[in-house]
């Protein structure tokens, strides 16, 4: 019990500023809706502020906009259904199904879908007229307060989330490349299929990275240290698309590896070594982001070595091993650009590595 209490107190200690911010935002939203907008009963304005802010501190603007859109969608559909077919159990079921369907078609998040459904139900069941416009105005007021509070009173370093997200994305990418390399070396289909499944999950890390970059940009724009933060954020924001490209190329690489093993294609062991070098390149990229000395040179060396190994591999003019070779080059280019290498310089380095003759050595077959 004492251990559990310490955990709870630790969580409270790390979140009390966010709790205070949400509480104050709720009070301000209620006051603005009541005294400025003139809402007689601003029941949803403080709720909208708290929902938009949340304890996670992430993307208050996006959540506020999605919440307002969800409310508008729910109100519009509910008003139409009430006008056309009235109120009842069947109408409620039809309403919820229709609202959630429309929200999904709008590519809505869970916030948008939930608020659309709840708003629709409240409009259908809430007595009296004018509830539609009241709830929509409340949502707008609460969302606006959340955006202002989220941007002006952020209680974390704007770039910390970007660094964490980038580190996680690179760690997942490196682990997947290592799994592909092991599958290529062992020529084991279950291992290749598992690596492909891992590759398909990498997009989540990239999405988190993009969200963190967006949030950091919002926070930095309203910070007293705006210029310094923006200068520090720019290279990190530029790295995100390159990591995205590397993830996509890794997914193609994993698919080609799986198909090659399934069809029992000839696989030169140097292809597996090349992919292992790409994994090491990714680890070196993370080390470079942490400021480790010599990491930049390590990235260039390992990326070049990966292209050399893949270029020296005997692909037997077979489609899938040739694709593995091509994706190795593409990944090396992505990782070099993610490290800050100029595109022309990266291409020159890869072209030079592709023409390098590495020492001949026996290649096992079978």
CATH number (domain holding residue 333): 1.20.58
- pLDDT confidence tier of residue 248, bands split at 50, 70 and 90: very high
Within a domain: 365: no
- Provide the pLDDT confidence category of residue 364 given band limits of 50, 70 and 90: very low
Picking from 344, 313, 343, the residue whose alpha carbon sits closest to that of residue 328 is 313
Residues 143 and 178 in one domain: no
In this structure, the answer to whether residues 239 and 260 fall within a common structural domain is yes
279 pLDDT tier (thresholds 50, 70, 90): very high
Instruction: Please indicate, yes or no, whether residues 239 and 132 belong to a single structural domain of this protein.
Output: no
Within-domain flag for 366: no
What does the mean pLDDT of the chain come to? 79
- 253-254-259-261 Cα dihedral, nearest 10 degrees: 110
User: Is 207 found in the same domain as 135?
Assistant: no
Query: Tokens for 355?
Result: 């023409």
Residues 250 and 348 in one domain: yes
CB 212 within 8 A of CB 162: yes
In this predicted model, which residue has the larger pLDDT, 99 or 3? 99
pLDDT value, residue 304: 92
pLDDT band at 66 (very low <50, low <70, confident <90, very high): confident
pLDDT attached to residue 192:
95
* Dist. CA 8–CA 297, nearest whole Å: 45
Q: Is the pLDDT of residue 351 over 80?
A: yes
| 255 and 117 housed in the same domain | no
Determine, yes or no, domain membership for 362.
Answer: no
Residue pair 307/281 in contact by the 8 Å Cβ criterion: no
Answer yes or no: is pLDDT of 207 > 60: yes
pLDDT the model gives residue 233 = 66
Domain boundary residue, one of 94, 129, 152: 152
Residue 154's nearest CA partner among 227, 212, 240, 232 is 212
Q: Are residues 317 and 287 in the same domain?
A: yes
Is the CB of residue 252 less than 8 Å from the CB of residue 323? yes
- Do both 86 and 215 map to the same domain? no
List the domain range (segments joined by +) for residue 204. Answer: 160-354
Domain boundary, last residue among 117, 152, 187: 152
Q: Which residues contact 244 (CB under 8 A, 6 or more apart)?
A: 206, 210
Task: Report the pLDDT averaged over residues 17-27.
Answer: 80
Residue 31 lies in a domain: yes
- Mean pLDDT over residues 56-82, rounded? 69
The whole-number pLDDT of residue 342 equals 87
Q: Is the pLDDT of residue 132 over 70?
A: no
Indicate if 119 and 259 belong to the same structural domain: no
Helix ranges (H only) for the chain are 2-31, 45-53, 60-85, 89-105, 110-125, 131-152, 160-186, 189-200, 202-221, 226-262, 269-289, 295-312, 319-338, 343-354
On the question of pLDDT at 366 being above 50, the answer is no
Residue 364: inside a domain: no
Please, which pLDDT band fits residue 365 given cuts at 50, 70 and 90?
very low
Q: What is the mean pLDDT of residues 20-49?
A: 81
pLDDT at 201 > cutoff 90: yes
* 363 in a structural domain: no
Q: Looking at the structure, do residues 122 and 205 belong to the same domain, yes or no?
A: no
Tell me, what's the pLDDT at 234? 66
Q: Which of 202-216, 219-233, 337-351 has the lowest mean pLDDT?
A: 219-233
Q: What is the mean pLDDT of residues 220-234?
A: 60
**For the chain, percent of residues with pLDDT exceeding 70:** 75
**Total domains, the chain:** 2
Helix, strand, or coil (residue 106):
coil
Residue 359 lies in a domain: no
Give the model's confidence band at 283: pLDDT under 50 very low, under 70 low, under 90 confident, else very high. very high
Domain boundary among 133, 152, 171: 152
More confident residue, 186 or 55: 186
> What was the pLDDT predicted at 39?
77
Shared domain for 166 and 252, answered yes or no, is: yes
* 14 located within any domain: yes
Q: Do both 164 and 140 map to the same domain?
A: no
């Amino acid at each position: 019990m004492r251990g559990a209490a310490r955990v709870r107190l630790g969580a409270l200690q790390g979140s009390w500023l966010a709790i205070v911010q949400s509480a104050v935002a709720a009070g301000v939203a209620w006051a603005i809706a009541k005294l400025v907008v003139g809402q007689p009963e601003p029941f949803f304005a403080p709720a909208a502020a708290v929902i938009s802010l949340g304890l996670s501190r992430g993307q208050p603007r996006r959540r506020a906009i999605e919440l307002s859109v969800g409310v508008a969608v729910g109100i519009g559909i509910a008003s139409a259904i009430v006008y056309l077919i009235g109120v009842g159990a069947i109408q409620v079921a039809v309403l919820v199904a229709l609202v959630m369907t429309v929200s999904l078609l709008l590519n809505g998040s869970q916030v948008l879908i939930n608020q659309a459904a709840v708003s629709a139900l409240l409009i259908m069941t809430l007595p009296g007229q004018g509830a539609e416009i009241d709830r929509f105005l409340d949502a707008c007021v609460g969302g606006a307060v959340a955006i202002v509070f989220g941007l002006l009173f952020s209680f974390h370093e704007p770039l910390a989330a970007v660094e964490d997200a980038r580190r996680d994305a690179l760690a997942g990418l490196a682990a997947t490349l290592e799994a592909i390399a092991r599958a290529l070396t062992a020529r084991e289909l279950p291992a290749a299929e598992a690596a492909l499944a891992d590759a398909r999950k990498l997009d989540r890390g990239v999405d988190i990275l993009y969200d963190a970059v967006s949030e950091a940009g919002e926070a930095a724009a309203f910070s007293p240290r705006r210029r310094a933060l923006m200068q520090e954020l720019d290279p990190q924001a530029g790295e995100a698309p390159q990591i995205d490209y590397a993830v996509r190329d890794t997914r193609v690489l994993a698919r080609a590896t799986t198909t090659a093993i399934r069809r029992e294609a000839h696989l030169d062991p140097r292809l597996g070594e090349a992919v292992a070098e790409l994994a090491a390149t990714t680890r070196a990229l993370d080390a470079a982001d942490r400021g480790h000395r010599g990491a930049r040179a390590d990235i260039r060396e390992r990326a070049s070595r990966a292209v050399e190994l893949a270029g020296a591999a005997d692909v037997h003019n077979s489609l899938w091993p040739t694709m593995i070779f091509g994706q190795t080059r593409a990944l090396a280019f992505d990782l070099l650009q993610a490290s800050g290498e100029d595109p022309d310089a990266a291409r020159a380095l890869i072209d030079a590595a592709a023409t390098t003759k590495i020492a001949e050595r026996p290649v096992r077959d079978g």
